[in-house]
Chains A and B, each alone.
Chain A
Amino acid sequence: MIDPSNVLDKVARSLGRTSVLTAPPTPPELPEPLVRLVHTDFGLRELFAKRATELKMLVEPCYTEELPDKLAGFLKANNCRAIGMNVSKLLNGLGLPQSLRDAGLDVKTWDDLTLDSAYDLDAAVTDVTYAVAETGTLVIRTDANHGRSLTLVPKVHVAILQPKNFVPDLLDLMERLVKDGVGSHVTLISGPSKTADIEMNVVIGVHGPLIVKAYILS
């Protein structure tokens, strides 16, 4: 029996059915040669660097052992004192919280931070879940250790990328997301926040970070 006030039933009726379809239909196939832009696993870091740079992200390949010094130098050069960091095996393993503190910066990890205190940070240092070479995109799945606000409210966002993070194409990213689980929130970041609302003048840094820096570890 169709209840005319129920939107779902109304949809079914509009499609000429008496009740909501329950047998799964087959959506169109996605031909790889049509959809895929990156066909290789080779040179993903270089491609990522190229694309991300085009999107005004600052990209720097980096050896693991030189990261602490480079990172501290970069943060200081951009007048960042209060640093937030997500809780991550990678960042802890690199000894980053301590080395930045040793460099005189005020470092707090996400377990010591709250949403409101994130607004007082100058910069955030995070790892990423994936990095898409096709578009130069950082992908972060948020969870208890990865705050949503960390990569959004501070003026500077520094991402540390490992070789295992890279996926060739957006198509691969979506397949991985389905396989690994999407969770409550996944954000794709492709450069610093920007707008072109006023006479199409591109202005960097509207509501999100003004500077997005990616260190690619070898």
Chain B
Amino acid sequence: MIDFNHISCPLSKDLLYSLNPMATLSLPVAGDQNTNAFLHEAAAAKFDFHSVSVKAAGDEQLKLAVGGAVTRQDASRKMRMLDLPDPDAIRQLAGDIKQHTLDHLDYYLHQLGTNVEKNGGVVHFAKDGAEAKRIILDIATQEDTKRCIKSKSMVSEEIELAHALELAGLDVVETDLGEFIVQISHDKPSHLVQPIVHKDRKSIAKLFAEYFNTPYNDDPQALCQQARIFLRDKFRTSDLGITGGNFLVAETGHVVGVENEGNQRQSVTTPRVMIALVGIEKVIPRMTDLAVMIKLLARSATGQPITIYTNIYGGPRDKGEKDGPEVFHLILMDNGRTEILASEEYRETLRCIRCGACLNACPIYRSIGGHAYGSVYPGPIGALITPLMQGLGEFKDLPHASSLCGACYEACPVKINIPKHLINLRRDIVERKINHPIERFIYRAWAKSLKSPLLYKLNTKLQKLVLRSQAEEHGGWVTKLPSIASGWTTIRDMPQPAAKTFHELWKDR
């Protein structure tokens, strides 16, 4: 079993220098000594997709857990999409709506901001994660909040918000069951929708037995009950709620969040202060567009016709309301998104509604799981947006983590052409010369030899000589190629090349 705590996460680096200066003065939260050590370790290590994915692919237990779960999920998506009169056409429509919004994002963000303010909310724009965290910490300080309940949100994972708040001395509780388990085990989520798809119930039961100091019980019902009781008390005494958002409705100034558990509803019900932290690309123009999106989101994510709860909220509680936030903040975060927006080629990748359908459909994700991608956004969409958001440098291997089979494109509810963009990224890697120098040398040499008949003949003769002599030693099979070509022969052998090249046969005819 891989120790996932040692897989590096590049996002942590950002954390170390982005904190409120107060952070260094505050004490770590009890029981969290491990978190800090782990963060430093993660920040120090460099992400190496190759070695991590090879390790993950060899982990049979992981393959069984993740592959089994997401394959079932993929099947239920396919079934449920058949409810729709024309699944393909409505995916195109949803893609068109998102594309239209992105093409006019300045207008819709402005409209959204104006309407949120009309609803009594405060709107902030954050250029990156550091700024978003500073805004949130400022609000927490200003409002003097003590206990924060946080519902699941990919954007907050992206900027490692919970850790930042904990380090600043706030009591932060992840309230989604999966995220709660991630939090208390100092792990990382490995799927956009099911954060702990890589964990089995035995390890969760062991974790709970230790954390709550109770007898071991691996019945899912009992585990959920335990978490329910523990978290209910946290909800009741919380004064700051943080949520993400699946959609932002520009027309009315509302945030829309979907969930099954009810913990996000808690964030908009109990705490006095509420903050929604959402990426700028989540806007949709009209309330009626939401009908299209809701019909597609849960079907694509979990094969449900609709999630148990869909929460539409904007602004503080209305006059006379006795619950709900008194103060409402919306933070719209850029964090690399405008750079993608500026590229007409890659702009459509911002359509993503984070349903996870491409992960469930992907043969690569099914065998290596989410952690191997080294980013909070795993799977095909992660292989695409992680390098786009954080640069190709460290993530130059991710665009190759695909067999280009197209299953992701077929699954995507907003029709992002993921395989096409992965190929484009591979092109960028070559054009910007960030691939391996030996690889560049070989392709240059190959191109040269293909252009010159003399070099070509020499080349084939040389290859024949080397490969034939190697094959003769191993009973007629080439079993080991040198250097970077060695990957080819680790799992397959090559038959002995013919005694004569085509050119020689042609001459002898």
- List the interface of chain A (C-beta within 8 A of B): 5-8, 10-15, 17, 20-25, 27-28, 30-31, 33-35, 37, 51, 55, 110, 113-116, 118-119, 135, 137, 142-144, 147-149, 152-153, 169-171, 173-175, 177-178, 182-201, 203, 205-209
Contact = CB atoms under 8 A, between A and B. Distances in A.
B308 interface: yes
30 contacts: A6-B125, A7-B125, A7-B126, A11-B338, A11-B341, A12-B106, A13-B342, A22-B107, A24-B107, A27-B97, A37-B83, A115-B270, A137-B306, A143-B318, A148-B269, A149-B269, A149-B270, A171-B288, A174-B291, A175-B288, A178-B287, A184-B315, A190-B306, A193-B262, A196-B260, A198-B201, A198-B220, A203-B220, A206-B262, A207-B263
Contact of A21 (B73, B83, B107, B311): B107
Contact of B224 (A14, A55, A115, A198): A198
B378 to A, nearest CB: 17
Interface of B: 65, 69, 72-73, 83-86, 89-90, 93, 96-97, 100-101, 103-107, 109-110, 113, 119-120, 125-127, 175-178, 181, 194-196, 200-201, 204, 220-221, 223-224, 227-228, 231-232, 235-236, 251-252, 254, 260-263, 265-266, 268-270, 280, 285-292, 294-295, 302, 305-324, 332, 334, 338-339, 341-342
Given A10-B127, A21-B104, A186-B313, 4 more contacts: A13-B338, A25-B100, A55-B308, A195-B178
A152 B316 contact: no
Given A30-B292, A195-B224, A207 B101 contact: no
A14 B339 contact: yes
A153 B316 CA distance: 20
B100 A184 contact: no
Nearest to B265: A152
Contacts of B309: 187-190, 193, 208
B291 A144 contact: no
Contacts of A209: 262
Nearest to B340: A14
B183 to A, nearest CB: 13
Given A28-B97, A193-B308, A203 B224 contact: yes
Given A11-B338, A189-B309, A147 B322 contact: yes
Contact of A195 (B107, B177, B280, B292): B177
A55 B311 CA distance: 18
A152 B269 contact: yes
A55 B309 CA distance: 12
Nearest to A210: B228
Contacts of B313: 184-186
Given A14-B341, A21-B104, A198-B224, A7 B265 contact: no
B125 A8 contact: yes
A200 B315 CA distance: 35
A182 B314 contact: yes
Given A195-B224, A203-B220, A186 B322 contact: no
Given A7-B280, A137-B306, A25 B104 contact: yes
B288 A178 contact: yes
- Give the top 8 A-B pairs by smallest Cβ distance, nearest first: A208-B262, A144-B320, A14-B342, A7-B125, A207-B262, A188-B310, A197-B178, A12-B106
Contacts of A22: 107, 110
A34 B90 contact: yes
Contacts of A182: 252, 254, 287, 312, 314
Contacts of A191: 308
A162 B455 CA distance: 85
Given A37-B85, A203-B220, A194 B308 contact: yes
